[in-house]
Amino acid sequence: MTPLLRGAVLLGLAVVAILVPLLGSGYIVYIANTLLVYAVLCLGLNIVIGETGQFALAHTAFFGIGIYTSGLIGNALHWPFPIPALIGGLLAGALGVLIGALALRMRDIYLALATFAFGEAMQWVFLS
């Protein structure tokens, strides 16, 4: 794809992203937001599995930690959205560094099992 074509596509996507909230119904905006959230999750998973080749299964657990933290802080303290979202992302990143440091020397199936166990433990936390 040539740089000119790539720029035109990005410009077109930016125009659509600006027009969807202005012209779309509430349901269309909800679907677009859900699509974009899952696109970000998939891009992160592509970096972990596709680019580095590490088979880590705790990706969604960190995603959930950020969302859960952001929601709890936003509801409890009634802060504007960007502040709880930033705090949730920082907490998820800090826990990712901690779990990554613990699983640093694991490879192949052992890394997959350790990250799977963390993901399942976080699922219990989210459901309780």
Convert the pLDDT of each residue in 15-59 to its tens digit: 988 998 898 899 999 998 899 889 888 888 888 888 888 777 888
CA 88-128-76 angle, to 5 degrees, is 45
Note if the pTM is more than 0.85.
Answer: no
- Using DSSP, how many helices (H) and how many strands (E) does the chain show? 5, 0
Burial of 91 (0-12, 13-18, 19+ CB in 10 A): middle
